[in-house]
Amino acid sequence: METANKEISGDLALMGLDDEGTLWERRDETAVRKELAERYTDFARGLALSFRGGSEPTDDLIQVACLAMVKAIDRFDYSRGIPFQAFASPTINGELKRHFRDRVSQVRVPRSLYERIAEVDSAMSDLGAELHRGPSIAEIADELETAEYEVIEAIEAKQSRYPVSMDSPARSDPDEATPADRIGEEDGSFDEVEDNMTLRAAADDLSGIEKQVLRLRFREDMTQSEIADRIGYSQMHVSRILRRSIATMKKSLAPRSL
Architecture of domain 190-249: Orthogonal Bundle (1.10)
CATH of domain 8-104: 1.10.1740.10
Q: Is the dihedral of CA 98, 102, 103, 106 positive or negative?
A: positive
- Domain boundaries for CATH 1.10.10.10 within the chain: 108-163, 190-249
Largest pairwise CA distance in the chain: 122
pLDDT in tens, 230-240: 888 898 998 99
Q: What is the pLDDT of residue 187?
A: 64
Residues of the chain with CATH 1.10.1740.10: 8-104
* pLDDT one-digit tens code per residue, 180-231: 666 656 666 666 777 777 777 777 878 889 889 888 988 888 999 999 998 8
Q: What is the mean pLDDT of residues 162-183?
A: 60
Work out the percent of the chain whose per-residue pLDDT is above 90.
Answer: 12
| Confidence band of 42 (pLDDT split at 50, 70, 90) | very high
Return the CATH fold of 108-163: Arc Repressor Mutant, subunit A (1.10.10)
DSSP 256: G
The pLDDT value recorded for residue 74 is: 87
